[in-house]
Amino acid sequence: MKTMIWGAAAALLFTTAAPALAQTYRSDVRQYRQQERIERGYRSGRLTPREAARLQRQQHRIDRVERRARAYNNGHVDPRSRRQIERMQNRASHNIARKANNYRYGY
């Protein structure tokens, strides 16, 4: 009986925490992939040090907006902030692609 109660409590805990984790998982994974693209471009020489620094700064700004959105909403990102973060990530992705393919090399 005791294990059944603990099992039910654990299931309830995980089901209530799952939406909050899923909410930030997509943006975190995307942020990580964009970070990897910047590093890969810098290591291969397709990004100059200045371009890489600017793109890194843009990623830090996105992180800051996401942290603030979570802080204001008890760890959750509201739909309006999520749209803003997604737009910022779209713009950053476009900038990474554009800077990596502009025929300037950082050898």
Q: Where are the domains of the chain?
A: 2-100
pLDDT tens-digit map of 38-72: 999 999 999 999 999 999 999 999 999 999 999 99
Secondary structure class of 100 (helix, strand, coil): helix
pLDDT exceeding 90 applies to what percent of the chain? 65
**Sequential DSSP letters for 8-30:** HHHHHHHHHHHHHHHHHHHHHHH
SS (H, E, C) 32-86: HHHHHHHHHHHHHCCCCHHHHHHHHHHHHHHHHHHHHHHHHCCCCCCHHHHHHHH
pTM as predicted: 0.73
What tokens appear for 103 in the block?
């025929």
